[in-house]
């Protein structure tokens, strides 16, 4: 019984990268970025499973993946939180439809804790959204 991290990341990437609204407002979706990647973009971040879930033997995983959005106000010549709100809204809309994760049944999914932070340089806007999904191995 393997952790569902890889198939979950693949499903998230496919859903987000194929969403027509997101394609209009971001340059890409990554799990690692180099310094020359143009803004704005999304990073599929840290997957987590609570420790108590790891010791169960029922093949059900309560996973959380943090999605990060990055927007450069200076290069876009667009200041404030609005652009980051638009990206977070588009991610939320894209993930409202049940996600197909290979090898797993999607039992439940929801998003919470959206927020926008100013980076230390006050130029970058960092959007954060936690995506929770309960997967049952099939």
Per-residue pLDDT of the chain (138 residues; tens, 9 = 90+): 678 999 999 999 999 999 999 999 999 999 999 889 999 999 999 999 887 655 556 788 999 999 999 999 999 999 999 999 999 999 999 999 999 999 999 999 999 999 999 998 999 999 999 999 999 999
**Which CATH number characterizes residue 42's domain?**
3.30.2000.30
Tokens of 72: 């450069």
In three-state secondary structure terms, 100 is coil
Read off the pTM: 0.92
Neighbour tally for 117: CB within 10 Å? 13
Into how many domains does the chain fold? Answer: 1
Q: Which domain holds residue 56?
A: 5-137
Q: Mutual orientation of helices 5-17 and 82-94 as an angle, nearest 10°?
A: 110
């Amino acid at each position: 019984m393997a952790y569902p991290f890889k198939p979950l990341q693949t499903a998230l990437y496919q859903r987000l990268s194929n969403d027509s609204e997101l394609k209009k407002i971001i340059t890409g979706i990554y799990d690692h970025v180099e310094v020359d990647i143009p803004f704005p973009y999304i990073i599929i971040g840290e997957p987590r499973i609570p420790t108590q879930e790891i010791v169960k033997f029922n093949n059900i995983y309560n996973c959380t993946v943090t999605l990060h959005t990055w927007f450069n106000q200076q290069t876009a010549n667009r200041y404030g939180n609005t652009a980051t709100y638009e990206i977070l809204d588009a991610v939320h809309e894209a993930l409202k439809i049940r996600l197909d994760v290979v090898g797993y049944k999607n039992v439940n999914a929801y998003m919470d804790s959206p927020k926008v932070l100013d980076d230390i340089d006050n130029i970058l806007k960092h959007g954060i959204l936690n995506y929770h999904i309960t997967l049952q191995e099939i």
